[in-house]
Structure 1
Protein backbone atom coordinates (compact mmCIF):
# COMPACT_ATOMS: atom_id res chain seq x y z
CA UNK A 1 0.00 0.00 0.00
CA UNK A 2 1.35 3.42 -0.92
CA UNK A 3 1.45 6.29 1.52
CA UNK A 4 -1.20 8.15 -0.57
CA UNK A 5 -3.72 5.36 -0.13
CA UNK A 6 -4.14 6.42 3.50
CA UNK A 7 -4.87 10.07 2.63
CA UNK A 8 -8.50 11.10 2.77
CA UNK A 9 -9.09 13.18 -0.38
CA UNK A 10 -12.05 14.95 1.23
CA UNK A 11 -9.64 16.40 3.76
CA UNK A 12 -6.99 17.32 1.18
CA UNK A 13 -9.22 18.73 -1.60
CA UNK A 14 -9.99 22.06 0.12
CA UNK A 15 -6.24 22.64 0.46
CA UNK A 16 -5.57 22.31 -3.26
CA UNK A 17 -5.43 25.54 -5.28
CA UNK A 18 -8.36 26.28 -7.58
CA UNK A 19 -6.47 27.58 -10.61
CA UNK A 20 -3.02 28.51 -11.91
CA UNK A 21 -2.90 31.89 -10.19
CA UNK A 22 -4.07 30.43 -6.87
CA UNK A 23 -1.40 27.75 -7.18
CA UNK A 24 1.30 30.34 -7.86
CA UNK A 25 0.20 32.44 -4.89
CA UNK A 26 -0.03 29.41 -2.60
CA UNK A 27 3.39 28.13 -3.71
CA UNK A 28 5.04 31.42 -2.76
CA UNK A 29 3.25 31.72 0.54
CA UNK A 30 1.60 34.93 -0.61
CA UNK A 31 -1.86 35.80 0.57
CA UNK A 32 -4.57 38.31 -0.09
CA UNK A 33 -6.32 39.88 2.85
CA UNK A 34 -8.97 42.48 2.15
CA UNK A 35 -10.16 44.84 4.86
CA UNK A 36 -13.35 46.81 4.27
CA UNK A 37 -13.38 50.59 4.60
CA UNK A 38 -15.66 50.61 7.61
CA UNK A 39 -16.32 54.33 7.89
CA UNK A 40 -17.32 54.24 11.56
CA UNK A 41 -18.83 50.76 11.47
CA UNK A 42 -17.58 47.77 13.43
CA UNK A 43 -17.19 44.44 11.59
CA UNK A 44 -16.58 41.21 13.46
CA UNK A 45 -16.76 37.49 12.92
CA UNK A 46 -17.63 37.12 16.60
CA UNK A 47 -20.92 38.32 18.10
CA UNK A 48 -20.98 41.96 19.20
CA UNK A 49 -22.48 42.62 22.63
CA UNK A 50 -26.05 43.96 22.60
CA UNK A 51 -28.14 45.62 25.31
CA UNK A 52 -31.85 46.20 25.82
CA UNK A 53 -33.25 49.73 25.35
CA UNK A 54 -33.02 51.82 28.51
CA UNK A 55 -35.85 53.84 30.12
CA UNK A 56 -34.67 57.10 28.55
CA UNK A 57 -34.77 55.60 25.04
CA UNK A 58 -38.16 53.98 25.60
CA UNK A 59 -39.55 57.32 26.82
CA UNK A 60 -38.69 59.12 23.58
CA UNK A 61 -41.53 59.18 21.03
CA UNK A 62 -39.08 58.93 18.11
CA UNK A 63 -37.50 55.69 19.41
CA UNK A 64 -38.39 52.55 17.47
CA UNK A 65 -37.22 49.13 18.66
CA UNK A 66 -35.70 47.61 15.52
CA UNK A 67 -34.74 44.24 17.05
CA UNK A 68 -35.70 41.31 14.84
CA UNK A 69 -36.20 43.29 11.62
CA UNK A 70 -34.83 41.62 8.47
CA UNK A 71 -33.54 43.82 5.66
CA UNK A 72 -31.97 42.07 2.71
CA UNK A 73 -29.34 39.70 4.10
CA UNK A 74 -29.19 41.41 7.50
CA UNK A 75 -31.08 40.69 10.72
CA UNK A 76 -31.09 43.28 13.51
CA UNK A 77 -29.91 41.71 16.78
CA UNK A 78 -30.17 44.70 19.15
CA UNK A 79 -28.52 47.93 20.28
CA UNK A 80 -24.71 47.79 20.38
CA UNK A 81 -23.64 47.81 24.03
CA UNK A 82 -20.01 48.86 23.71
CA UNK A 83 -20.02 50.93 20.50
CA UNK A 84 -20.75 54.57 21.21
CA UNK A 85 -21.04 57.38 18.68
CA UNK A 86 -22.30 60.93 18.71
CA UNK A 87 -24.29 60.86 15.46
CA UNK A 88 -26.99 58.28 16.04
CA UNK A 89 -27.48 54.94 17.66
CA UNK A 90 -25.53 51.86 16.59
CA UNK A 91 -27.48 48.64 16.08
CA UNK A 92 -25.87 45.22 15.73
CA UNK A 93 -26.87 43.34 12.58
CA UNK A 94 -26.00 39.79 11.57
CA UNK A 95 -25.47 38.88 7.93
CA UNK A 96 -26.43 35.48 6.52
CA UNK A 97 -22.69 34.80 6.08
CA UNK A 98 -22.33 34.89 9.88
CA UNK A 99 -20.55 38.24 10.19
CA UNK A 100 -21.69 40.90 12.65
CA UNK A 101 -21.64 44.63 11.92
CA UNK A 102 -22.97 47.82 13.41
CA UNK A 103 -25.36 49.96 11.43
CA UNK A 104 -27.15 53.20 12.20
CA UNK A 105 -30.89 53.28 12.86
CA UNK A 106 -31.31 55.65 9.89
CA UNK A 107 -29.86 53.02 7.53
CA UNK A 108 -32.07 50.26 8.94
CA UNK A 109 -35.25 52.35 8.82
CA UNK A 110 -34.49 53.59 5.31
CA UNK A 111 -33.76 50.09 3.99
CA UNK A 112 -36.90 48.68 5.63
CA UNK A 113 -38.96 51.44 3.99
CA UNK A 114 -37.43 50.63 0.59
CA UNK A 115 -35.38 53.82 0.24
CA UNK A 116 -32.27 51.87 -0.82
CA UNK A 117 -31.39 51.73 -4.54
CA UNK A 118 -33.31 48.96 -6.29
CA UNK A 119 -30.15 47.03 -7.22
CA UNK A 120 -28.57 47.24 -3.77
CA UNK A 121 -29.51 44.48 -1.35
CA UNK A 122 -28.46 45.34 2.23
CA UNK A 123 -25.57 43.06 3.29
CA UNK A 124 -22.32 43.20 5.23
CA UNK A 125 -19.29 44.85 3.66
CA UNK A 126 -17.56 41.51 3.06
CA UNK A 127 -20.52 40.10 1.15
CA UNK A 128 -20.85 43.36 -0.77
CA UNK A 129 -17.20 43.25 -1.85
CA UNK A 130 -17.52 39.60 -2.87
CA UNK A 131 -20.70 40.32 -4.83
CA UNK A 132 -19.05 43.22 -6.66
CA UNK A 133 -16.06 41.07 -7.62
CA UNK A 134 -18.34 38.26 -8.83
CA UNK A 135 -20.19 40.75 -11.01
CA UNK A 136 -16.91 42.00 -12.48
CA UNK A 137 -17.03 45.41 -10.82
CA UNK A 138 -13.56 46.37 -9.71
CA UNK A 139 -11.15 49.26 -9.94
CA UNK A 140 -9.40 48.63 -13.26
CA UNK A 141 -6.34 50.70 -12.31
CA UNK A 142 -5.75 48.69 -9.14
CA UNK A 143 -6.29 45.42 -11.03
CA UNK A 144 -3.79 46.47 -13.69
CA UNK A 145 -1.24 47.48 -11.03
CA UNK A 146 -1.66 44.13 -9.28
CA UNK A 147 -1.26 42.24 -12.58
CA UNK A 148 1.87 44.26 -13.37
CA UNK A 149 3.32 43.46 -9.93
CA UNK A 150 2.62 39.75 -10.42
CA UNK A 151 4.18 39.75 -13.89
CA UNK A 152 7.23 41.59 -12.54
CA UNK A 153 7.76 38.94 -9.86
CA UNK A 154 7.69 36.12 -12.42
CA UNK A 155 10.81 37.36 -14.17
Structure 2
Protein backbone atom coordinates (compact mmCIF):
# COMPACT_ATOMS: atom_id res chain seq x y z
CA UNK A 1 0.00 0.00 0.00
CA UNK A 2 1.41 3.40 -0.92
CA UNK A 3 1.08 6.68 0.97
CA UNK A 4 -1.40 7.88 -1.65
CA UNK A 5 -3.84 5.20 -0.50
CA UNK A 6 -3.77 6.41 3.12
CA UNK A 7 -6.98 8.21 4.07
CA UNK A 8 -6.21 11.79 5.21
CA UNK A 9 -9.27 11.82 7.49
CA UNK A 10 -7.74 9.03 9.52
CA UNK A 11 -4.29 10.62 9.79
CA UNK A 12 -5.40 14.25 10.32
CA UNK A 13 -6.03 13.97 14.09
CA UNK A 14 -2.46 12.72 14.50
CA UNK A 15 -1.00 15.76 12.73
CA UNK A 16 -0.22 19.11 14.39
CA UNK A 17 -2.46 21.95 13.24
CA UNK A 18 -0.64 25.24 13.45
CA UNK A 19 0.22 27.78 10.76
CA UNK A 20 3.46 26.13 9.66
CA UNK A 21 1.99 22.62 9.65
CA UNK A 22 -0.98 23.73 7.57
CA UNK A 23 1.32 25.41 5.02
CA UNK A 24 3.41 22.24 4.71
CA UNK A 25 0.36 19.96 4.54
CA UNK A 26 -1.28 22.28 2.02
CA UNK A 27 1.50 21.61 -0.48
CA UNK A 28 1.17 17.82 -0.27
CA UNK A 29 -1.65 15.35 -0.16
CA UNK A 30 -5.17 16.61 0.39
CA UNK A 31 -8.58 15.08 0.80
CA UNK A 32 -11.76 15.68 -1.15
CA UNK A 33 -14.69 16.36 1.14
CA UNK A 34 -18.23 15.49 0.05
CA UNK A 35 -21.27 17.10 1.75
CA UNK A 36 -23.88 14.83 3.33
CA UNK A 37 -26.65 13.77 0.93
CA UNK A 38 -29.48 15.46 2.83
CA UNK A 39 -27.75 18.83 3.28
CA UNK A 40 -28.34 21.97 1.26
CA UNK A 41 -24.62 22.76 1.09
CA UNK A 42 -23.27 24.52 -1.99
CA UNK A 43 -20.03 26.21 -2.95
CA UNK A 44 -22.08 28.29 -5.40
CA UNK A 45 -24.68 30.83 -4.23
CA UNK A 46 -28.10 29.37 -3.47
CA UNK A 47 -30.93 31.46 -4.96
CA UNK A 48 -32.57 33.68 -2.36
CA UNK A 49 -35.01 36.58 -2.25
CA UNK A 50 -35.91 39.44 0.03
CA UNK A 51 -38.92 38.92 2.30
CA UNK A 52 -42.16 39.81 0.54
CA UNK A 53 -44.43 42.65 1.66
CA UNK A 54 -47.02 40.11 2.85
CA UNK A 55 -44.43 38.37 5.01
CA UNK A 56 -43.16 41.62 6.49
CA UNK A 57 -46.61 42.72 7.72
CA UNK A 58 -47.22 39.45 9.60
CA UNK A 59 -46.58 39.99 13.33
CA UNK A 60 -44.97 36.55 13.72
CA UNK A 61 -42.48 37.10 10.87
CA UNK A 62 -38.96 38.28 11.75
CA UNK A 63 -36.72 39.61 8.98
CA UNK A 64 -33.38 37.88 9.52
CA UNK A 65 -31.62 39.35 6.48
CA UNK A 66 -28.11 40.57 7.34
CA UNK A 67 -28.00 38.99 10.81
CA UNK A 68 -24.74 37.33 11.84
CA UNK A 69 -24.63 34.15 13.91
CA UNK A 70 -21.40 32.26 14.47
CA UNK A 71 -19.66 31.95 11.11
CA UNK A 72 -22.89 32.65 9.19
CA UNK A 73 -24.40 35.76 7.63
CA UNK A 74 -28.08 35.46 6.69
CA UNK A 75 -28.51 36.39 3.03
CA UNK A 76 -32.28 36.06 2.48
CA UNK A 77 -35.21 33.68 2.15
CA UNK A 78 -34.46 30.57 0.09
CA UNK A 79 -36.46 31.08 -3.09
CA UNK A 80 -36.34 27.56 -4.54
CA UNK A 81 -36.91 25.57 -1.33
CA UNK A 82 -40.55 25.46 -0.18
CA UNK A 83 -41.28 25.76 3.54
CA UNK A 84 -43.78 22.81 3.55
CA UNK A 85 -45.14 23.98 6.89
CA UNK A 86 -41.84 23.14 8.61
CA UNK A 87 -40.75 26.75 8.91
CA UNK A 88 -39.18 29.23 6.55
CA UNK A 89 -35.78 28.32 5.08
CA UNK A 90 -33.11 31.03 4.93
CA UNK A 91 -29.91 31.06 2.88
CA UNK A 92 -26.80 31.61 4.99
CA UNK A 93 -23.23 32.22 3.88
CA UNK A 94 -20.34 30.84 5.92
CA UNK A 95 -17.05 32.70 6.34
CA UNK A 96 -15.45 30.05 4.12
CA UNK A 97 -17.71 31.27 1.25
CA UNK A 98 -20.00 28.22 1.30
CA UNK A 99 -23.79 28.52 1.23
CA UNK A 100 -26.36 26.49 3.14
CA UNK A 101 -29.96 26.79 4.21
CA UNK A 102 -31.17 26.96 7.79
CA UNK A 103 -34.64 27.09 9.31
CA UNK A 104 -35.75 30.39 10.82
CA UNK A 105 -36.38 28.61 14.13
CA UNK A 106 -32.73 27.53 14.39
CA UNK A 107 -31.40 30.98 13.47
CA UNK A 108 -33.71 32.67 16.00
CA UNK A 109 -32.60 30.22 18.73
CA UNK A 110 -28.97 31.21 18.18
CA UNK A 111 -29.82 34.91 18.12
CA UNK A 112 -31.85 34.62 21.35
CA UNK A 113 -29.21 32.50 23.05
CA UNK A 114 -31.68 29.66 23.60
CA UNK A 115 -29.86 27.19 21.35
CA UNK A 116 -28.68 23.99 23.01
CA UNK A 117 -25.60 23.85 20.78
CA UNK A 118 -22.26 24.77 22.35
CA UNK A 119 -20.58 25.21 18.95
CA UNK A 120 -21.07 28.40 16.97
CA UNK A 121 -23.07 27.80 13.77
CA UNK A 122 -20.92 26.87 10.78
CA UNK A 123 -21.29 25.02 7.49
CA UNK A 124 -20.95 21.24 7.42
CA UNK A 125 -17.48 21.45 5.81
CA UNK A 126 -16.14 23.77 8.53
CA UNK A 127 -17.79 21.59 11.16
CA UNK A 128 -16.12 18.46 9.77
CA UNK A 129 -12.72 20.17 9.62
CA UNK A 130 -13.20 21.45 13.17
CA UNK A 131 -13.94 17.92 14.41
CA UNK A 132 -10.74 16.66 12.77
CA UNK A 133 -8.76 19.45 14.44
CA UNK A 134 -10.26 18.55 17.82
CA UNK A 135 -9.19 14.94 17.37
CA UNK A 136 -12.49 13.27 16.52
CA UNK A 137 -11.82 10.56 14.00
CA UNK A 138 -12.88 7.14 12.82
CA UNK A 139 -10.78 4.60 14.79
CA UNK A 140 -11.04 1.97 12.02
CA UNK A 141 -9.68 4.40 9.42
CA UNK A 142 -6.92 5.48 11.80
CA UNK A 143 -5.91 1.86 12.45
CA UNK A 144 -5.85 1.11 8.71
CA UNK A 145 -3.75 4.24 8.04
CA UNK A 146 -1.33 3.35 10.83
CA UNK A 147 -1.00 -0.19 9.48
CA UNK A 148 -0.30 1.17 5.98
CA UNK A 149 2.37 3.51 7.32
CA UNK A 150 4.00 0.78 9.41
CA UNK A 151 3.89 -1.62 6.44
CA UNK A 152 5.47 1.02 4.19
CA UNK A 153 8.39 1.60 6.56
CA UNK A 154 9.36 -2.11 6.75
Same-fold call, TM cutoff 0.5: yes
The separation in 2 between residues aligned to 1:117 and 1:101, in whole angstroms, is 20
The separation in 2 between residues aligned to 1:38 and 1:120, in whole angstroms, is 22
The separation in 2 between residues aligned to 1:102 and 1:153, in whole angstroms, is 44
The separation in 1 between residues aligned to 2:141 and 2:83, in whole angstroms, is 33
The separation in 2 between residues aligned to 1:53 and 1:18, in whole angstroms, is 44
For residue 97 of structure 2, what is the aligned residue in structure 1?
Answer: 98
SS across alignment from 1:44: coil
* Per-residue deviation, residues 57-76 of structure 1 (Å, max 9, x unmatched): 22322110000100011000
Tell me by how many angstroms 1:117 deviates.
Answer: 4.2
The separation in 1 between residues aligned to 2:83 and 2:145, in whole angstroms, is 37
SS across alignment from 2:25: coil
SS across alignment from 1:43: coil
Tell me by how many angstroms 1:38 deviates.
Answer: 5.5
Tell me by how many angstroms 1:146 deviates.
Answer: 5.4
The separation in 1 between residues aligned to 2:36 and 2:71, in whole angstroms, is 19
Pair 1:83 & 2:81 matched:
yes
Structure of larger gyration radius: 1
For residue 130 of structure 2, what is the aligned residue in structure 1?
Answer: 131
Does the C-alpha gap of structure 1 residues 90 and 153 become closer, same or farther in structure 2, counting only changes over 3 Å?
farther
The number of residues matched between the two structures is 130
Tell me by how many angstroms 1:92 deviates.
Answer: 0.4
For residue 61 of structure 1, what is the aligned residue in structure 2?
Answer: 59
Tell me by how many angstroms 1:109 deviates.
Answer: 0.3
Q: Which has the higher contact order (CA 8 A, sep 6+)?
A: 2
Does the C-alpha gap of structure 1 residues 138 and 144 become closer, same or farther in structure 2, counting only changes over 3 Å?
same
The separation in 2 between residues aligned to 1:57 and 1:146, in whole angstroms, is 53
SS across alignment from 2:74: strand
For residue 25 of structure 2, what is the aligned residue in structure 1?
Answer: 18
Q: Kindly report the root-mean-square deviation, in angstroms, between the aligned alpha carbons of the 2 structures.
A: 2.8
Does the C-alpha gap of structure 1 residues 133 and 65 become closer, same or farther in structure 2, counting only changes over 3 Å?
same
Question: Could you tell me the TM-score, scaled by structure 1's length?
Answer: 0.69
The separation in 1 between residues aligned to 2:143 and 2:83, in whole angstroms, is 38
* Per-residue deviation, residues 65-102 of structure 1 (Å, max 9, x unmatched): 00010001100000011122421111000111110110
